Amino acid sequence: MEITGTIKQILPLKTGEGKSGTWKRQDIIVEYGDKYPKLVCITLWGDQADTPGLTVSQQITAQVDVQSREYQERWYTDVKAWKIELTAEGTEDPFAGEPLPPPVPPEDTDEDELPF
């Protein structure tokens, strides 16, 4: 299954130890759909959790597997990405959230000289 959308939130990276060694998990919230947009939490495991360039408002296309499991008579659904592609188009503002640089003072000007 393929989901194309915009990253709305990047949750903190989670790590731990399992039977097979260390694991990493990164959850991202993606908004997709045109007329009635929806949010989905996509999980990136292992090396996928280190995907460079993941930022809020980044447009992505994710190849995912959807799987449900039962635990104590409750069902849980996971959306696991097995491939993430970053797309340049559709990004809102690449500099959003970055502070503006301080203004550059004018070079040695005489205060006696008026511009008018």
Spell 84-99 as b/e; 16+ CB within 10 A means b: beeeeeeeeeeeeeee
Q: pTM of the prediction?
A: 0.70
Tell the CATH topology of 2-87: OB fold (Dihydrolipoamide Acetyltransferase, E2P) (2.40.50)
Question: pLDDT over 90 for what percent of the chain?
Answer: 55
> How many Cα atoms are found within 13 Å in the side-chain-facing hemisphere of 106?
4
- pLDDT band at residue 100, thresholds of 50, 70 and 90? low
Q: Can you give the residue ranges of every domain in the chain?
A: 2-87
Look at residue 95 in the predicted model and tell me its pLDDT.
52
Going by DSSP bridges, is the β-strand pair 74-87/38-45 parallel, antiparallel, or unpaired? parallel
